[in-house]
Amino acid sequence: MLKLLLKSVKRVSLKRIAEEVGVSIATVSLVLNGKDKGGRVSKETAAKILDKAAELNYMPNTLAKGLKLGRSKTIGLIVADISNVFFGTLALYIQEYAEKEGYAIIIANTNEQVKRMEKMIGLLKSRQIDGLIITPTEGSEYLIKDLIKYQMPLVLVDRSYPNLPVNSVLINNYEISYKSTKQLIQQGCKNIAFITYKQDHFHINERKRGYYEAVKEAGLYKAHNIQEVRYDFLRSDIDRAISYLVKKEEKIDGIFFATNSISIAGIKSLCKYNMGLQKDIQIMCFDECDAFYLLPFSIPFVRQPIEEMAKHAIKILIDNIEGKNIEIEKCFLDAELILK
């Protein structure tokens, strides 16, 4: 009874328009899709159909359309954590650019767990998404390979497997890390730490390599200045790392944080230990953070071109989906070092 009540508000379909105008469903479809050129439908009939469609506020059923055409005009976006500002901003722009092309976005989180990533891919596939934008988790190479085999239009963003034949949009991690570390050295730092995730990610390794080359070149390399923390125990691992770094005999005078979450946790920790930022220790962060504005001095950071990344990812993906481009695209964008 209730169900009947709920169903009573029927959506407007082509059939309804066809009946009310007195033509066949096919004619309505042709007109509404603009395929009535070349003497298919008379001007008057077309006008009547368009009027009726407007009057009834017709909206095509995307499910039916997708089923018939084999395309859903929907893109899956798989990120590690949508509550993280970096991914949130990425999602915002991806959604914006996708919408302009008539695509909707379904978002899924992995929480950096490959099992969840597998599940999410399955979930999105069963929804007949036309393509996928992914920031892959560690150890997900086999999933990416599967998707390639499956011929799923795909773009990796932020992170990538450089040896896989897959579209990607990345930043110049190595160069910007090298440059950022150099900057700390120029500011007079002699003992610079690098805090990063204990993860085997290409982009993370590149950042490490940039740091490494810069300190080595300056003759400042010390193995124990590189500290790795676990994603799942970020807070406690950072605390331990910072505590170690500031207490060891050769006290550090600079820290480079490899990601935004590490930056935030690291700064929190430094404050807890009451370290004199920019007096005793110079820091350098990946990504901007609101917290910076609280300080009486400015903290240098690497700004990623998130909007550009989103724009490129969507363009590459949609070109791929619509068959306009079948070449693999590896797109590298320049991040910016902000010193202010």
List residues near DNA by CB under 7 A.
10-11, 13-15, 22-27, 29-30, 32-33, 35, 38-42, 44-46, 58-61, 64-65, 67-70
Name the residue nearer to DNA (CB basis): 46 or 310: 46
61 binds its own copies, rule: CB under 8 A:
yes
Pick one of DNA, its own copies, none as the site partner of residue 249 (Cβ within 5 to 8 A by kind). none
Q: How far is the CB of 15 from its own copies (least distance, A)?
A: 14
DSSP H or E segment with residue 36: none
Pick one of its own copies, DNA, none as the site partner of residue 185 (Cβ within 5 to 8 A by kind). none
211 CA to centre of own chain: 24
Among 29, 128, 187, 205, binds its own copies (CB under 8 A): 128
Which pair of structure tokens corresponds to residue 73? 């005009």
Q: How far is the CB of 268 from its own copies (least distance, A)?
A: 4
Pick one of DNA, its own copies, none as the site partner of residue 198 (Cβ within 5 to 8 A by kind). none
Name the residue nearer to its own copies (CB basis): 33 or 42: 33
Q: How far is the CB of 158 from its own copies (least distance, A)?
A: 15
DSSP 8-state class, residue 281: B
**Other CB atoms within 10 Å distance of the CB of residue 141:** 13
Pick one of its own copies, DNA, none as the site partner of residue 176 (Cβ within 5 to 8 A by kind). none
Q: How far is the CB of 53 from its own copies (least distance, A)?
A: 13
Among 30, 31, 91, 318, binds its own copies (CB under 8 A): 91
Nearest-angstrom CA–CA distance, 103 and 221? 49
User: 75: which strand partners?
Assistant: 105, 131
Nearest-angstrom CA–CA distance, 79 and 132? 11
327 binds its own copies, rule: CB under 8 A:
no
Pick one of DNA, its own copies, none as the site partner of residue 27 (Cβ within 5 to 8 A by kind). DNA
**Would you say how long the chain is, in residues?**
340
Which pair of structure tokens corresponds to residue 146? 């599967």
Which pair of structure tokens corresponds to residue 300? 């240098």
Contacts 24+ apart (CB under 8 A), 311-316: 311/93, 311/97, 312/169, 313/94, 313/133, 313/155, 313/157, 313/169, 314/75, 314/94, 314/97, 314/98, 314/101, 314/103, 314/133, 315/97, 316/155, 316/167, 316/169
Residues in the site for its own copies, rule: CB under 8 A?
Answer: 2-3, 5-9, 59-64, 66-67, 70, 72, 74, 81-85, 87-89, 91-92, 95-96, 99, 104-109, 122-128, 150-151, 264, 267-268, 271, 274, 289-291, 293-296, 323, 326
